[in-house]
Structure 1
Amino acid sequence: MVAGADGAGMIAGSDRAGTIAERPRPPDPAEAASTADFVRALIRLRQWAGEPSLSRLRSLGGQTVASDGATVDALPKSTTSHVLRQLDRLPRWDFVRAFVTACFRYCDYPAEQIPGELERWRAARTALAGPAARPPEPPQAAAPAESADGPGPDHAADLLARRVVREEDRARKGLLGGYSLAPLSFGLYDAAGEVEHDLHSIGGFFTGLHSRRLMVVGDSGAGKTVLAIELVLQLLEPVLAAGGRPDHGQQVPVRLNAARWTLGRPFEPWLAEQLAQDFGLAAHDARRLVRDRRVLPVVDGLDELDPEPSPGPPRRAIGLLAELNRYSDLSGRRPGAVVVTCRADRHAELVEAGAGLDNAARIHLHNLTNEQIGTYLHARWPDGHPCGRHRDDIQAALYGPAGKAVHAALATPWRLLLTVTAVESGAGPVELLHADPDADPAESAARIATRLLEAYVPAATDLTPRAAPGTPYQPGQVRSWLVHLAAHLRWQAARGAETDRPPPGLTAIDIVPHLLWPIGGRRRVRVLHSLCCVVLAVIAMLAFWTGSAVDGPGDLRGGAGPEQLLTLALMTGWVAIATGLSLSPWPAAAGGRTEVPRRRRVTGGLLGALAGVPVGVLGGLAGLVLTGGSVFGPAFAVTAGAIGGLVLGAVIGLTAAGRRGAERMTVSEAVRTEPFTLLGFGLCGALTGLPPLRLADAGALPLAMGVTGAFVLAFALGVVFKIATGGWSRDAELAHPREALHRNPTIGLAFGLIGGVAAFLVFVMNQDVVESLLCALIGGVTFGLAFGAIAWARTMIGLVVAATRGLLPLRLWTFLDWACEARLLRVSGATYQFRHRELQDFLTPSEGDGGR
């Protein structure tokens, strides 16, 4: 029996060997000359292996760990099907490795030969990933691709570098209050006999790292953000010396707020999104720079991802580290360059949980010594300075009986800044730094820190008088407003964690003007906004009813006919849609694009007008045919159509994203993004086309054709408006915290102008010019406010309610800008933030206060 079994095994083995020998060699990935060829090679490999089903590939591909720590399939069916259809995208190495392994396993390929095959596929993919072997692109995209990927200048990288320098220089001055910099020092983590480095050498230190991966660890207020800013600016110094143009292939360092990352979000798409939102890059340029590894991510504030105190392991920080560990360099064989900053206690929790940044050098920021504190004070208050006499008081406290506690309280640049700010405003250092020599040094240091934080807001308020005309801000007012902002950030953090895809800026640290309306009371503001929207929508419809003059109030007493019922139904439907949009949880805040030169806007307006005139004329002639010429003649049809098309095209052209390279969305994406808004656009078109048909006593068929045609045309124009302007987009490119909010009423007025002109051309058929103009003006303005400026209206109502309740100042924008000058807040890209997380946490009220 044993012999039989061995014989059977030998026969089976010989058959299998014969099958392998007879089967042709697997496809050679080295023959792939483009991305499309590489994907086709994967398809041929699957065919060569015997066409394993997607389910079988999933089971053979094994599992991997997702960014949220969950174990998932390496080859989900939907992912495999999608990747094999994308001939213009090079698959990720993780996918290629799992797919190739699964195919070889399916056909019983010798296990010992699979690693060699994987190396062939890896080498082929690496060759294609390099910038010298880019896949061919369509003719219309060839020129930009050559300029971006070839030896010539990369304009997107140039633009990013210039904007990063500008933002980081502004952030540095805002954090330091000038140029005085505490003498920070750092060393390798847990290194025996370590070599100490200072802040001015961080750029050279990072450049000397073989892995180009760095984890920066320090206590709260130790200067992690200042070090990150210095690193970015030092790495960009050669770029500035070269006229602001990075060398081909040189990475542009970009500092990112870790708190904006959401659990489970892939890192690369998130990184590209941050480049678009914070620095105004076109979305496709941002994705290309990330794909080509032209960006060095400097992820600041890993410790701010998870709430504190954390009930368990910091899940979000662990998830982001998992994503960063999957982030590879251009070859796909080595970890990608990245810098991460983290508070020391959070880093200890991550180490205990077994999480870390792979292949990274770890440095820790040292506390300031008494000598370094003295050096900083002498630089800030030189001999002869009014506060120079206080240097001796601070030094006496540092070297006095309670010196250990005083040093622990002042050992970070942030605490030192709190101290000098309080002293410069008139506070006495003896009282600020008083500590009981017999008390526990840690407890005494905590009490000193509390006094410094208590003194900071009044001191900053006194040192920064209000520049704008008006009553000076009082310290009590400023503290109260900041407390409500801090409470709102805590609420944002909880709401952002509950939302699958929160709007940009809904994080624990970002103060975004158009997201502050819940401070006034979330339900209260939404109800008031809805009521205001109903009033505006009704006024718009009454203006249309009056201006069209088809029906009078007395015409409805005897009962409404079919045509009157149709008019009322269309008007009611539009009011209902406008009301529903006002009830949306987070109205879209921005429309249009930034950084569009005036000449290009004017050119866009002229081109839009030229395109709109023939469309308008065709519409006017269509109305002439449907009405039989009984309401207006050919001259009016051509003239009115031309005027309407001219205005419509010019408005779209002026507000269009005329910037070269700006991303366009497809028609399906436009419809999917705002279906109800486009439906409202269509109803407005149907309403505008109905009065001439009723005045002409058109039959049922012409009436139906005219109303339907007007609806379809207006719906299509809404889609064009969406595609051309980028309107109603939550992912608009923001370059200033208030930009999204300011653009919103502009888009609303554009809506109103289009609707008002169309309405005037209809009204003037049956009314005199003055009354038609008045009705069109009232209807257009109310139409724009109710339908096109929803986010702006919500924010203004919320601000008025909050100011009435004493929660925020009425002139909030002025206050936010002043708070940045006072170094209570800071501008970070497209958002405001508190000057330091410790200040935000100190001002955040306890749970139960500041609720909504």
Structure 2
Amino acid sequence: MNKRYWSRRSRILTTFGTFILAVGLVWITVWLLTKTDRNDGAGIANVLAFPLTAIGTAIAVIGIRSRPYRSTPEILAGHARSLLRDVATAEARTLAQLLGDTGEPRPANLSFNQQHAALITWRTDRGAQVGSLETIHSYYEGLERGRLVILGQAGSGKTVLAIRLLLDIAAATLDNSVERVIVPIRLSLPAFMTKSTRATEIRRDFENWIVAHLFDVHGLPRDVSTKMLTDGWILPILDGLDEMDPDDTNTFQRAQGILRALNLPVGTTPTRVVITCRTGRFEQLSAPTLDSSQSLQDATAIVLLPLSVPQVIYWLAHRFPDARQPDNLQRRWRRVASTLRDHPNGRLANCLTSPLHLYLAVTVYRSHNSSPSELCDLDAPTLNQHLFAQLVPAITAGLEDEPYESKQVERWLRGLANHLARAGRMGYSTTDLHLHELWRSTGAPMNFWIRVIASGLAASFLAVPTAAATIWLFTDKDSGGPLWGDWIVLTAMFIGTLFLFANAYSAKSSPLIHIDFSRIKKRPGRRKFLRDLGIGLASGTAVAIVGAFAARFGWVPERPVVSDIAFGVGGGLLFGMSIAILSLSTARHAVLRPSEPVAESLRSTVRLAIAIGGVLGFTIGLSSFLILGEPNRLLFNSIVGLLMAIIFGIPISLITVLAIGAFRCWSLFYGITILLQASRRQLPWRPGRFLDWAYTAGLVRLAGTATQFRHRELQLYLTDASLKDAESNTAVASSPLAAVNTSPES
């Protein structure tokens, strides 16, 4: 739907017209009141006010109709520039985190060349044969279709090059008053999930995913996001194609699916896109034995090269400058520079020419009191182990108001790494960490006991009142024994107890609930909310009729008809409110902090419980006084009923929170897991807060709603040796922990 936009001109016209209209109405009212005793008073007022009212109405209508459509290029350009500034600011901070730098971060000048012609089995997008980080923007502009694949070994700087391209595009666009604004958006491909297998359906889900990201993270209206995406204003930079499928598989269904979707044209040309991927995985995806549609067609693939020794020394001088020393490099780094020059193929050079290992060395030895010369005395395996071992202490020591000790941080990160290793053995992702799913990878026998305890707590919500009602019915002599209706209720409660236990014990993955009340502001959401509320009221009326009918035939204890009506309508309102509020729930595709998914879901649960509990409490309080009070004192009974609603509503809301938690189960599993793991010091008591800190410190990153270790090799280093499966051992064998000339993902 092409919606209109409130521009400055339309706001002024509408406001001015509405003001004149209001003045005209006041004029009519005043004249009618002051001239009622004369025959011509009303006529004079109408004559004088009608032109003013007509003019005001006309101006207001003109103002409303003069609102430009959101799809106009001027409006889209304004949104695009604002979005581009937000994206550039966020990515500049991310780059500073990756480099461990402040101010204006400057990465080492990475070099690249096009992939060897013998390995190319797809059509390319032309472009120069060689380039560098400093020329990446002009290199990209030289492509015909804007389709680029950045390849390299783990830790070669693919993400850094992609961010540098994004920032260069943003700077060139913001410095010029161009009408057509291209907004590069970096997205983590492993976070994209779809059940579709057809290319057209994957493409649809992929575009919806980008629109949801723009709305969730940047607050861009969905209709504007959709228009900008379909018209080519958005340049997707997709990071981590190689992480979409496990390393120990020969089928790459998710990665091949997204490549097929990106080969579909938009209009007459393929989509502009930038992708990062490990070289080996991309060669597997583009193998000649596979269908050509599996490869990214009309795209140029560039391969990152290791840094040269002069580049390493130059960047060290940039990070630790001293104009009084040779190479403008601080004295404490002089021995490192000399060793690199004297042994350009030695163990230290092979280590530091990897961008990630260079970052590790700079981070570990950024303190002026440190001595990087000790790196020259370490052998290859010890050298790499040393850098990883000192990373966490160096980061924690460099932060002000440090809330955690380095030993705590490393122990908790090791616990999370072990969780991911166990998750991989169970068929789950080895990189994506979801706090509410931590219980699955706690290992035996803790996993079993968590499931049993959580299932028992969930079932106890109905088991306790069921047992109490049964004892009361069979022991109370005045009740006369249970009636048919009582047996029906008891049976339903017993079945519900079994259902809650079975539902919890089955341990199905439950999506986190996020209630977006802003959807009520929009017409589709408001209509759905009111429709569900109406359905609930109608069902409540039906329940009231059934209750009155059952009382007449002795199936339930006889009571006044007004009681059935009151409780039936109240129950219907409760049911309708529950469905209506749940209709506002949405799936989050991206978050700003690791703790946000769990925290927002808990807040949504509390909001839902307060709404349901408030309606239930109001129904109980008001119905009680309507039934027991005097019929002619309706206003008094309503006020007292409102007070009783507050008294009943608060405890009922708390109980409803537990009920919703019992039904959704994940909150019980999460709470029990944190209680057991934190008591053993394997995890912090507040893991969300800790991951927020780790995200700020640059130890973890976000991929949609999942949290990942910033560097895959750091995760493998922290994982216990007994938990490293074949896939992890394969990764280690090709990592710097086993061979110095390769390094982890940056």
Determine which of 686, 694, 701 is the counterpart of 1:811. 686
Deviations 1:336-358 (A, max 9, x none): 21111122333344454556422
Deviations 1:86-132 (A, max 9, x none): xxxxxxxxxxxxxxxxxxxxxxxxxxxxxxxxxxxxxxxxxxxxxxx
Counterpart residue number, 1:657:
519
Deviations 1:561-597 (A, max 9, x none): 234445545655665565565455223313223xxxx
Task: Tell me how many residue pairs correspond in the alignment.
Answer: 607
Determine which of 258, 276, 280 is the counterpart of 2:212. 276
Superposed displacement of residue 418, structure 1: 0.7
Equivalent residue letter for 2:97: G
Matched, 1:474 2:406: yes
Counterpart residue number, 2:34:
none
Paired with 1:664 and 1:847, the residues of 2 have a C-alpha distance of 54
Superposed displacement of residue 411, structure 1: 0.9
Paired with 1:462 and 1:688, the residues of 2 have a C-alpha distance of 70
Superposed displacement of residue 182, structure 1: 2.9
Paired with 1:154 and 1:554, the residues of 2 have a C-alpha distance of 75
Determine which of 446, 453, 466 is the counterpart of 2:388. 453
Q: Secondary structure at the match of 2:508?
A: coil
Residue 699 and residue 554 in structure 1: after superposition, are their counterparts in 2 closer, same or farther (change >3 A)?
Answer: closer
Superposed displacement of residue 663, structure 1: 6.5
Equivalent residue letter for 1:398: L
Matched, 1:146 2:69: yes
Counterpart residue number, 2:656:
783
Superposed displacement of residue 733, structure 1: 6.3
Equivalent residue letter for 1:188: N
Paired with 1:663 and 1:479, the residues of 2 have a C-alpha distance of 46
Superposed displacement of residue 419, structure 1: 0.8
Counterpart residue number, 1:820:
695
Paired with 1:272 and 1:459, the residues of 2 have a C-alpha distance of 41
Counterpart residue number, 1:534:
459
Equivalent residue letter for 1:414: L
Matched, 1:753 2:610: yes
Residue 560 and residue 170 in structure 1: after superposition, are their counterparts in 2 closer, same or farther (change >3 A)?
Answer: farther
Matched, 1:208 2:133: no
Determine which of 415, 424, 441 is the counterpart of 2:366. 424
Q: Where do residues 314-333 of structure 1 align in structure 2 (5 Å cutoff)?
A: 314=252, 316-324=254-262, 326-331=263-268
Paired with 2:85 and 2:500, the residues of 1 have a C-alpha distance of 42
Q: Secondary structure at the match of 1:657?
A: helix
Residue 492 and residue 208 in structure 1: after superposition, are their counterparts in 2 closer, same or farther (change >3 A)?
Answer: farther
The answer as to whether partners of 1:688 and 1:762 remain within 8 angstroms in 2 is: no
Q: Secondary structure at the match of 2:691?
A: helix
Please list every run of 5 or more consecutive structure 1 residues that lacks an aligned counterpart in the other structure.
1-141, 437-443, 498-506, 594-654, 672-677
Q: Which moved more, 1:409-418 or 1:662-671?
A: 662-671
Superposed displacement of residue 314, structure 1: 4.8
The answer as to whether partners of 1:490 and 1:508 remain within 8 angstroms in 2 is: yes
Q: Secondary structure at the match of 1:172?
A: helix
Q: Where do residues 286-297 of structure 1 align in structure 2 (5 Å cutoff)?
A: 286-297=225-236
Paired with 1:662 and 1:435, the residues of 2 have a C-alpha distance of 66
Superposed displacement of residue 763, structure 1: 4.4
Determine which of 249, 252, 260 is the counterpart of 2:183. 252
Paired with 2:437 and 2:703, the residues of 1 have a C-alpha distance of 16
Residue 523 and residue 380 in structure 1: after superposition, are their counterparts in 2 closer, same or farther (change >3 A)?
Answer: same
Superposed displacement of residue 810, structure 1: 0.9
The answer as to whether partners of 1:186 and 1:197 remain within 8 angstroms in 2 is: yes
Deviations 1:764-784 (A, max 9, x none): 427999998665433320212
The answer as to whether partners of 1:160 and 1:279 remain within 8 angstroms in 2 is: no
Determine which of 213, 231, 245 is the counterpart of 2:165. 231
Superposed displacement of residue 822, structure 1: 3.0
Superposed displacement of residue 213, structure 1: 0.6
**Cα root mean square deviation, aligned:** 4.7
Equivalent residue letter for 2:652: G
Matched, 1:346 2:281: yes
The answer as to whether partners of 2:169 and 2:184 remain within 8 angstroms in 1 is: yes
Give the TM-score taking structure 2 as reference length.
Answer: 0.69
Paired with 2:530 and 2:725, the residues of 1 have a C-alpha distance of 42
Paired with 1:481 and 1:687, the residues of 2 have a C-alpha distance of 55
Paired with 2:421 and 2:399, the residues of 1 have a C-alpha distance of 27
Determine which of 335, 346, 350 is the counterpart of 1:393. 335
The answer as to whether partners of 1:539 and 1:779 remain within 8 angstroms in 2 is: no
Residue 685 and residue 232 in structure 1: after superposition, are their counterparts in 2 closer, same or farther (change >3 A)?
Answer: farther
Paired with 1:514 and 1:256, the residues of 2 have a C-alpha distance of 23
Paired with 1:691 and 1:555, the residues of 2 have a C-alpha distance of 25
Deviations 1:812-832 (A, max 9, x none): 123212223332223455443
Residue 351 and residue 763 in structure 1: after superposition, are their counterparts in 2 closer, same or farther (change >3 A)?
Answer: closer
Counterpart residue number, 1:267:
203
Equivalent residue letter for 1:320: I
Equivalent residue letter for 2:267: L
Residue 186 and residue 509 in structure 1: after superposition, are their counterparts in 2 closer, same or farther (change >3 A)?
Answer: same
Determine which of 264, 282, 299 is the counterpart of 1:360. 299
Q: Secondary structure at the match of 1:347?
A: helix
Equivalent residue letter for 1:330: G
Paired with 1:204 and 1:772, the residues of 2 have a C-alpha distance of 67
Superposed displacement of residue 223, structure 1: 1.1
Superposed displacement of residue 399, structure 1: 2.6
Q: Secondary structure at the match of 1:217?
A: strand
Paired with 1:456 and 1:685, the residues of 2 have a C-alpha distance of 66
Paired with 1:455 and 1:669, the residues of 2 have a C-alpha distance of 60
Paired with 1:822 and 1:523, the residues of 2 have a C-alpha distance of 35
Equivalent residue letter for 1:197: G
Residue 373 and residue 312 in structure 1: after superposition, are their counterparts in 2 closer, same or farther (change >3 A)?
Answer: same
Please list every run of 5 or more consecutive structure 2 residues that lacks an aligned counterpart in the other structure.
1-64, 118-126, 629-639, 727-746
Paired with 2:451 and 2:652, the residues of 1 have a C-alpha distance of 23
Counterpart residue number, 1:795:
670
Counterpart residue number, 1:56:
none
Paired with 1:736 and 1:692, the residues of 2 have a C-alpha distance of 55
Counterpart residue number, 2:578:
718
Equivalent residue letter for 1:170: R
Residue 389 and residue 686 in structure 1: after superposition, are their counterparts in 2 closer, same or farther (change >3 A)?
Answer: farther
Paired with 1:525 and 1:143, the residues of 2 have a C-alpha distance of 61
Equivalent residue letter for 1:844: T
Counterpart residue number, 2:56:
none
Paired with 1:391 and 1:748, the residues of 2 have a C-alpha distance of 55
Q: Where do residues 71-90 of structure 1 align in structure 2 (5 Å cutoff)?
A: none
Counterpart residue number, 1:410:
352
Counterpart residue number, 2:597:
740
Superposed displacement of residue 730, structure 1: 4.0
Superposed displacement of residue 226, structure 1: 0.9
Paired with 1:688 and 1:827, the residues of 2 have a C-alpha distance of 53
Residue 588 and residue 682 in structure 1: after superposition, are their counterparts in 2 closer, same or farther (change >3 A)?
Answer: farther
Residue 345 and residue 428 in structure 1: after superposition, are their counterparts in 2 closer, same or farther (change >3 A)?
Answer: farther
Residue 392 and residue 318 in structure 1: after superposition, are their counterparts in 2 closer, same or farther (change >3 A)?
Answer: same
Paired with 1:294 and 1:813, the residues of 2 have a C-alpha distance of 35
The answer as to whether partners of 1:160 and 1:252 remain within 8 angstroms in 2 is: yes
Deviations 1:455-476 (A, max 9, x none): 32333233336534xxx4233x
Give the TM-score taking structure 1 as reference length.
Answer: 0.61
Matched, 1:510 2:432: yes
Q: Secondary structure at the match of 2:271?
A: coil
Paired with 2:498 and 2:518, the residues of 1 have a C-alpha distance of 29
Superposed displacement of residue 722, structure 1: 2.3
Deviations 1:64-103 (A, max 9, x none): xxxxxxxxxxxxxxxxxxxxxxxxxxxxxxxxxxxxxxxx
Q: Secondary structure at the match of 1:383?
A: coil
Paired with 1:553 and 1:485, the residues of 2 have a C-alpha distance of 53
Equivalent residue letter for 1:410: L
Q: Which moved more, 1:275-284 or 1:170-179?
A: 275-284
Paired with 1:217 and 1:480, the residues of 2 have a C-alpha distance of 34
The answer as to whether partners of 2:156 and 2:305 remain within 8 angstroms in 1 is: yes
The answer as to whether partners of 1:215 and 1:340 remain within 8 angstroms in 2 is: yes
